[in-house]
Amino acid sequence: MGQDDVRIFDTTLRDGEQAPGFSLRPAEKLQLARQIDALGVDIIEAGFPISSPADAESVRQIATEIRRPVIACLARCHRADLERAAWAIKPAAQGRIHTFIATSDLHLQAKLRMTREQCMEAAIDSVRYARQHTFDVQFSAEDATRSDFDFLCRVIEAVIKAGATTINLPDTVGYSTPDETLDFFRRIRERVPHTESVVFSAHCHDDLGLAVANSLAAVQGGARQVECTTNGIGERAGNAALEEIVMALKIRSDRMPYTTNIETRQIYPTSEMLSQLTGQGVQVNKAVVGRNAFAHEAGIHQDGMLKDRRTYEIMRAEDVGAPWNPLVLGKHSGRHAVQRRCADLGFRIEGEELVEVYRALMTIADDRKVLTDQDIRSTIATLRSEHPATAQHDAIDPFDTPSAAAQHSIHESGYGHGV
Ligand code: MN
């Protein structure tokens, strides 16, 4: 990969799947893994084999079937974990063991009840042992962002020497800020010797809603792998959302000149499959994949969209594989959008009739969240039964309307960078 290529490490099936309400059966994990492969991620973290026999089997099944990306799995710095992980990735075309230990004093004292020296020893021993099973070994310093900086640097230096090829520095509890994250990665790369042979990685959590911003800052600080999940699922408030990182890098390549291998048209299908398999929907205003991400109800916005969709959209729904039905009719809608929807339904509504139809629909909309096509049909039918003379206007080809023409020009308008 080139210097400005960012590896996408997808942990939907590990960190995402371990969140409350998101557990999946092995057959479902395999189905999702196939879709994540189609999405073009570089690494799939398929599970945490020691956590259950079913998860170990599931990782092994994915490692057997999914051949293009690297298949990774998680292991604590324990022999039993590492042996199970090595077994699970054995069939992989390219298998990675991802071993981790906390390096912050808080985690060492309160959780692991270990000294810094014991932590250092366990990290080195585990990386060496993992390297006996695969050349691709990732080490994570859990709670890295709250660790003593000098100690963290010594641990990183030691595990690189022991054979780690990727160094992941998680913001395990989502505590960092973007400027701090940029500085953190930059300082570590300056301080630790022999870092040119390894890839640095960010793993950011969203407790303060900063996971994506922190991941992008890490890339600017020299990280060339980001760990993320579809729909941003994961422990607590979740991980950095894959779709947001990828689209931010794509749409704002003027500010962030980094590339990924993601097939962006597979973003929405992946999000949909994940929601269906877990039964957990996406918030409607979620960036990139939410139901409202490309929808407009307000009259001023609808009018702008009808004239040129770039007025209120910075990316195209079709570029992320999402359906594009941008005009939602409700009480905030204007006449232009109502007229367009009527035309789409085959009714030419103009002049005085438009005033009447619009007024009648807005009265209905006051009591509703959204107006349906049936509301429009029945409103027009009712008004026309009161004034039968106007009905003759509809002897038109519904496709030969300003609507269809405008729709076409909207599709033709480009979204090049710098527009
Ligand atoms: Mn995590």
Q: Mind listing the pLDDT tens digit for each residue in 345-384?
A: 999 999 999 999 999 999 999 988 899 999 999 999 999 9
Cα 231 to averaged position of ligand 1 atoms, centre (Å):
15
Cα 203 to averaged position of ligand 1 atoms, centre (Å):
7
Cα 393 to averaged position of ligand 1 atoms, centre (Å):
61
Cα 247 to averaged position of ligand 1 atoms, centre (Å):
22
388 pLDDT higher than 80 = no
Cα 58 to averaged position of ligand 1 atoms, centre (Å):
20
Cα 361 to averaged position of ligand 1 atoms, centre (Å):
49
Q: For position 394, what pLDDT does the model report?
A: 57
Grade residue 403 by pLDDT with cuts at 50, 70 and 90.
Answer: very low
Q: For position 397, what pLDDT does the model report?
A: 43
Cα 386 to averaged position of ligand 1 atoms, centre (Å):
63
406 pLDDT higher than 90 = no
Grade residue 325 by pLDDT with cuts at 50, 70 and 90.
Answer: confident
Grade residue 18 by pLDDT with cuts at 50, 70 and 90.
Answer: very high
Cα 347 to averaged position of ligand 1 atoms, centre (Å):
54
Cα 282 to averaged position of ligand 1 atoms, centre (Å):
20
| Distance linking the first and last C-alpha atoms of the chain | 29
Cα 299 to averaged position of ligand 1 atoms, centre (Å):
42
Residues in a beta bridge with 203: 170, 227
Cα 28 to averaged position of ligand 1 atoms, centre (Å):
21
Mean pLDDT of the chain: 93
341 pLDDT higher than 50 = yes
Cα 174 to averaged position of ligand 1 atoms, centre (Å):
9
Give me the percent of the chain exceeding a pLDDT of 90: 89
Residue 360: CB partners within 8 Å, gap ≥ 6? 379, 382, 383
Grade residue 390 by pLDDT with cuts at 50, 70 and 90.
Answer: low
Cα 85 to averaged position of ligand 1 atoms, centre (Å):
18
Cα 187 to averaged position of ligand 1 atoms, centre (Å):
23
